[in-house]
Structure 1
Amino acid sequence: MLHLGIRLCQPLGQARWFASHIVSHQLWFYASDVPKRKPYTPDYKPTRSPQKFLAFSQDDCERLEAFYQSWASSQTKKSRVPVNEDLLFNVDLANMELNAAYWDAPTYEVRRGIWFDSQDRPLSAELTEELEKFRSQLDFDSPEELQNDVCKFTRTYEEGNLVVFVDKKTAYILQDMDGGDLQLNLIRANISSPLLLKGTKIFRSDFQDLHHGSKNKVDHRRNQLGKISELITWEVLDLFGINAPKTKELESQRENDILEREIESDYDNQGPSNSRDINHLVLCVHGIGQTLGKKYEYVNFAHTINQLRTHMKKIYDESPSLQELNHQNGFKDWKNNCNVQVLPITWRHEIGFKTDATAKNPEDPSLPTLSNITVNGVLGLRRLLGDVALDILLYSEPHYKEKIKTQVTRQINETYHRFKERTPGFGGKVHLIGHSLGSLILWDILSEQHKYKLDFDVNNFFCVGSPIGVFKLIQRSKIGSSEPQEMENLRRERPSCDCLYNLFHVCDPIAYRLEPLVDARMAQYEQRYLPHRTGESITSKMLEIGGSLWKEKHEKSKKNMNKRETLDPEIASRLTDLNYTGRLDYSLPPGFLEVDFISAAKAHISYFEDMDIANFLLKEILSNHQRAEEIVVEKLQIETG
Structure 2
Amino acid sequence: MLLVGIRLCQPVGQTRWFASKGVSHQLWFYASDIPKRKPYTPDYNPIRPPQKFLAFSQDDCQRLETFYQNWISNQTKKSKVPVNEDLLFNVDLPNMELHAAYWDAPTYEVRRGIWFDSQGRPLSAELTEELERFYSKLEFDSPEELQNDVCKLTKNYEEGNLVVFIDKKTAYILPDIDGGDLQLNLIRANIGSPLLLKGIKIVRSDLYHGSKNKADHKRNQLGKLSELISWEVADLFGINSSKAKESESQRENDILKREIETDYDNLGASHARDTNHLVLCVHGIGQTLGKKYEYVNFAHTINQLRTHMKKVYEESPHLKELNYQNGFKDWQSNCNVQVLPITWRHEIGFRTDATAKNAEDPSLPTLANITVNGVVGLRRLLGDVALDILLYSEPHYKQKIKTEVTRQINEMYHRFKKRTPGFGGKVHLIGHSLGSLILWDILSQQHKYKLDFDVSNFFCVGSPVGVFKLIQRSKIGNSEAKDMENLKRERPSCDCLYNLFHVCDPIAYRLEPLVDARMAQYEQRYLPHRTGESITSKMLELGGSLWKEKHDKSKKNVNKREVLDPEIASRLSDLNYTGRLDYSLPPGFLEVDFISAAKAHISYFEDMDIANFLLKEILSNHKKAEQIVVEKLQMETG
With normalisation by structure 2, the TM-score equals: 0.95
Structure 2 counterpart of 1:98: 98
1:404 aligns with 2:401: yes
Q: Name the CA shift for 1:594/1:31 in 2 (closer, same or farther; >3 Å).
A: farther
Q: Name the CA shift for 1:490/1:630 in 2 (closer, same or farther; >3 Å).
A: same
Q: How far 1:545 sits from its partner (Å)?
A: 5.4
1:69 aligns with 2:69: yes
AA in 2 matched with 1:6:
L
Contact 1:558 1:637 in 2 (8 A): no
Q: How far 1:507 sits from its partner (Å)?
A: 0.7
AA in 1 matched with 2:584:
S
Q: Hey, what's the Cα distance between the residues in 2 that align with 1:449 and 1:567?
A: 32
Structure 2 counterpart of 1:338: 335
Structure 2 counterpart of 1:51: 51
Structure 2 counterpart of 1:289: 286
Q: Hey, what's the Cα distance between the residues in 2 that align with 1:370 and 1:537?
A: 40
Within 5 A, what are the aligned runs for 1:40-189?
Answer: 40-189=40-189
Structure 2 counterpart of 1:265: 262
Q: Name the CA shift for 1:262/1:370 in 2 (closer, same or farther; >3 Å).
A: same
Contact 1:357 1:371 in 2 (8 A): yes
Q: How far 1:346 sits from its partner (Å)?
A: 0.5
AA in 1 matched with 2:29:
F
Q: After alignment, is 119-128 or 499-508 more displaced?
A: 119-128
AA in 2 matched with 1:117:
D
Within 5 A, what are the aligned runs for 1:185-196?
Answer: 185-196=185-196
Report the 3-state secondary structure (helix = DSSP H, G, I; strand = E; otherwise coil) of the residue aligned with 1:484. coil
Q: How far 1:254 sits from its partner (Å)?
A: 7.7
Contact 1:215 1:270 in 2 (8 A): no
AA in 2 matched with 1:118:
S
Q: Hey, what's the Cα distance between the residues in 2 that align with 1:539 and 1:351?
A: 35
Structure 2 counterpart of 1:623: 620
Deviations 1:232-260 (A, max 9, x none): 11111222222334555599988764442
Q: How far 1:24 sits from its partner (Å)?
A: 2.6
Q: After alignment, is 557-566 or 456-465 more displaced?
A: 557-566
1:483 aligns with 2:485: no
Q: After alignment, is 128-137 or 302-311 more displaced?
A: 128-137
- From 463, 467, 471, the equivalent of 1:466 is 463
Q: Hey, what's the Cα distance between the residues in 1 that align with 2:636 and 2:592?
A: 17
Q: Hey, what's the Cα distance between the residues in 1 that align with 2:580 and 2:69?
A: 57
- From 13, 29, 37, the equivalent of 1:11 is 13
AA in 1 matched with 2:107:
T
Contact 2:352 2:368 in 1 (8 A): no
Show structure 1 runs of 4+ deviating over 6 A: 250-255
Structure 1 counterpart of 2:571: 574
Within 5 A, what are the aligned runs for 1:407-446?
Answer: 407-446=404-443
Q: Name the CA shift for 1:140/1:96 in 2 (closer, same or farther; >3 Å).
A: same
Report the 3-state secondary structure (helix = DSSP H, G, I; strand = E; otherwise coil) of the residue aligned with 2:19. helix
Contact 1:19 1:73 in 2 (8 A): no
Q: After alignment, is 69-78 or 409-418 more displaced?
A: 69-78
Question: How much is the aligned-residue C-alpha RMSD, in angstroms?
Answer: 2.2
Q: Name the CA shift for 1:395/1:622 in 2 (closer, same or farther; >3 Å).
A: same
Deviations 1:568-622 (A, max 9, x none): 1100000000000010000111223552110000111111111111111001001
Contact 1:116 1:202 in 2 (8 A): yes
Q: Name the CA shift for 1:639/1:611 in 2 (closer, same or farther; >3 Å).
A: farther
Within 5 A, what are the aligned runs for 1:482-501?
Answer: 482-501=479-498
Structure 1 counterpart of 2:371: 374
Contact 2:282 2:432 in 1 (8 A): yes
1:242 aligns with 2:239: yes
AA in 2 matched with 1:5:
R
Q: How far 1:138 sits from its partner (Å)?
A: 1.5
Deviations 1:360-404 (A, max 9, x none): 432013312223222333332222111111100000111111111
Report the 3-state secondary structure (helix = DSSP H, G, I; strand = E; otherwise coil) of the residue aligned with 1:63. helix
Q: Hey, what's the Cα distance between the residues in 2 that align with 1:248 and 1:125?
A: 35
Within 5 A, what are the aligned runs for 1:194-273?
Answer: 194-206=194-206, 209-210=208-209, 213-248=210-245, 257-273=254-270
Contact 1:509 1:604 in 2 (8 A): yes
- From 522, 525, 531, the equivalent of 1:525 is 522
Q: State how many pairs are aligned.
A: 636
Q: List gaps (5 residues or longer) in structure 2.
A: none
Q: Name the CA shift for 1:175/1:267 in 2 (closer, same or farther; >3 Å).
A: farther
Q: Hey, what's the Cα distance between the residues in 1 that align with 2:312 and 2:173?
A: 50
Contact 1:594 1:600 in 2 (8 A): no
With normalisation by structure 1, the TM-score equals: 0.95
Report the 3-state secondary structure (helix = DSSP H, G, I; strand = E; otherwise coil) of the residue aligned with 2:9. strand
Structure 2 counterpart of 1:311: 308
Contact 2:274 2:336 in 1 (8 A): yes
Q: Hey, what's the Cα distance between the residues in 1 that align with 2:16 and 2:258?
A: 37
Q: Hey, what's the Cα distance between the residues in 1 that align with 2:630 and 2:454?
A: 31
1:35 aligns with 2:35: yes
Report the 3-state secondary structure (helix = DSSP H, G, I; strand = E; otherwise coil) of the residue aligned with 1:167. coil
Q: Hey, what's the Cα distance between the residues in 2 that align with 1:82 and 1:416?
A: 18
Q: Hey, what's the Cα distance between the residues in 1 that align with 2:354 and 2:553?
A: 48
Q: Name the CA shift for 1:482/1:296 in 2 (closer, same or farther; >3 Å).
A: same
Q: After alignment, is 402-411 or 536-545 more displaced?
A: 536-545
Deviations 1:292-351 (A, max 9, x none): 345434111001101100000001000001100001111110000000000000011111
Contact 1:524 1:636 in 2 (8 A): yes
Contact 2:9 2:134 in 1 (8 A): no
Q: How far 1:557 sits from its partner (Å)?
A: 4.5
Q: After alignment, is 44-53 or 540-549 more displaced?
A: 540-549
AA in 2 matched with 1:127:
L
Q: After alignment, is 143-152 or 430-439 more displaced?
A: 143-152
Report the 3-state secondary structure (helix = DSSP H, G, I; strand = E; otherwise coil) of the residue aligned with 1:343. strand
Structure 2 counterpart of 1:560: 557
Contact 1:354 1:360 in 2 (8 A): no
Q: How far 1:558 sits from its partner (Å)?
A: 5.4
AA in 1 matched with 2:12:
Q
Q: Hey, what's the Cα distance between the residues in 1 that align with 2:420 and 2:188?
A: 54
Q: Name the CA shift for 1:594/1:327 in 2 (closer, same or farther; >3 Å).
A: farther
Identity %: 85
Deviations 1:401-426 (A, max 9, x none): 11110100010001001111111111
Within 5 A, what are the aligned runs for 1:349-360?
Answer: 349-356=346-353, 358-360=355-357
Deviations 1:71-121 (A, max 9, x none): 111122420111111111111111111111100001111111111111111
Q: Name the CA shift for 1:540/1:627 in 2 (closer, same or farther; >3 Å).
A: closer
Deviations 1:37-65 (A, max 9, x none): 11111111112111111011101111111
Q: After alignment, is 33-42 or 5-14 more displaced?
A: 5-14
Q: Hey, what's the Cα distance between the residues in 1 that align with 2:45 and 2:580?
A: 51
Q: Name the CA shift for 1:294/1:358 in 2 (closer, same or farther; >3 Å).
A: farther
Contact 1:30 1:55 in 2 (8 A): yes
Q: How far 1:130 sits from its partner (Å)?
A: 1.1
Q: Hey, what's the Cα distance between the residues in 2 that align with 1:71 and 1:22?
A: 19
Contact 1:36 1:45 in 2 (8 A): yes
